[in-house]
Amino acid sequence: MIDGRNRSLQGERNFERPNCVGDPKPSDQSISHWLDIAAFEAAALGTFGNCPVGVARAPGYTNIDPVLSKRFEIRDARYAEFRVEAFNALNHPSFGPPARDISAPNTFGVITNTISSPRVLELVLKFYF
């Protein structure tokens, strides 16, 4: 979690951490409500927040990439190989991390993108000689 405001008064720094005051996982967790903003509050002016790194997790990543292949002997050391390759065979979406800046409450905890590609099928025919 981050807070885009300069609460520590340390000048231009990178993002600072807020205070953790509850469970970040809401009971009705969904893509549009992955994190509960009520679990975080801005640190007091002139202080740093107490939220540790990794206090909340993004959705898991699921991917299945099967391959089927068959080798056909022709003669001597020559052969042909036929393969069917599938990438993300189940076409399962893997969602990206949620927005994590508490200074933007309208988008905080909302997942707006996917990190996986769509299903791709490849047919391969190779001739070895």
Summarize pLDDT for 30-52 with one digit per residue, the tens: 999 999 999 999 888 888 889 99
CA distance 96 to 46: 33
Query: Among candidates 83, 42, 53, 82, which has minimal Cα distance to 66?
Result: 83
Q: Which domain holds residue 61?
A: 1-129
Query: Among candidates 82, 80, 84, which has minimal Cα distance to 127?
Result: 80
Per the confidence metrics, is the pTM higher than 0.75? no
Domain count, the chain: 1
Summarize pLDDT for 52-106 with one digit per residue, the tens: 988 888 898 889 999 999 999 998 889 999 999 999 999 999 999 999 899 888 9
Residue 7 near residue 16, CB atoms below 8 Å? yes
